[in-house]
Amino acid sequence: MLIRETPVFIDGPVGQLEALYLDVADARGVALICHPNPVQGGTMLNKVISTLQRTARDAGLITLRFNYRGVGASAGSHDMGSGEVDDAQAAAAWLRAQHPEMPLTLLGFSFGGFVAASLGGRLEAAGQGAEKLFMVAPAVMRLGGENSLPLGGVLTVIQPETDEVVDPALVYEWSDALQRPHELLKVAECGHFFHGKLTDLKDLVLPRLSN
């Protein structure tokens, strides 16, 4: 049986947020997925985001992906910073309201990696930390100050070795300096958008989501 996501609209900080929600039977948890840079065409329908959503579904997680302000049918205009984290926080609150007892996993790609990580830090500070955080080809150069990583939970960083958008060396240096446990996975012969490597991405994420 084909399981389709349901379009929903969530009350965001500057108006409605367009989202796609999937409930699954006997779910093990919930997953919020954050998309790449909207200025560069990133939306919740990005193929890496779609792959992460299907992977989370296959791991038995309820999923929610959403468009930031100014993307698709979401209200407002791009902030390219804390505004998108505010949007993600509203989406996470909506998801948790539907399933208050379930552990939360955050996944983000590129700019969405920055958003997911920053959201994880905020939630932890509020005593509502996520169980797992996946940062895929993350824009780590945006992190710092009020936008900081959570200290708890399981952190997995996945970085393409031939990334043409996010300099792999920056991610490796950031990882080396990170003062908290995490796993860094490098994907050989792979560019930023995982052309021809989406199966490899799923193979890395699925067992780590399922554990």
Note whether residue 1 is domain-resident.
Answer: no
| Contact between residue 66 and residue 55 where contact means Cβ atoms under 8 Å apart | no
What is the residue range of 144's domain?
Answer: 6-210
Q: Report d(CA 179, CA 182) in Å as an integer.
A: 9
Note whether residue 206 is domain-resident.
Answer: yes
| pLDDT at 210 (0 to 100) | 93
- SS3 at position 201: helix
Q: What is the CATH number of the domain that holds 92?
A: 3.40.50.1820
Note whether residue 152 is domain-resident.
Answer: yes
Q: Report d(CA 200, CA 43) in Å as an integer.
A: 22
Note whether residue 120 is domain-resident.
Answer: yes
Beta-carbon-side half-sphere exposure of residue 150 (alpha carbons within 13 Å) = 28
Cα–Cα distances in Å, from 155 out to 1, 29, 33?
33, 16, 15
Note whether residue 25 is domain-resident.
Answer: yes
Q: Report d(CA 106, CA 122) in Å as an integer.
A: 12
Q: Report d(CA 68, CA 87) in Å as an integer.
A: 6
Q: How many CB atoms lie within 10 A of CB 177?
A: 7
- Choose among 179, 174, 92, 95: nearest CA to 137: 174
| pLDDT at 2 (0 to 100) | 59
> How many distinct structural domains can be found in the chain?
1
Q: Determine the straight-line distance between the first and last CA of the chain, rounded to whole angstroms.
A: 25
Mean pLDDT along residues 54-62 = 97
| pLDDT at 81 (0 to 100) | 87
Note whether residue 148 is domain-resident.
Answer: yes
pLDDT in tens, 118-161: 999 999 999 999 999 999 999 999 998 888 999 999 999 999 99
pLDDT score of 69 more than 80: yes
| pLDDT at 70 (0 to 100) | 97
Q: Report d(CA 136, CA 27) in Å as an integer.
A: 24
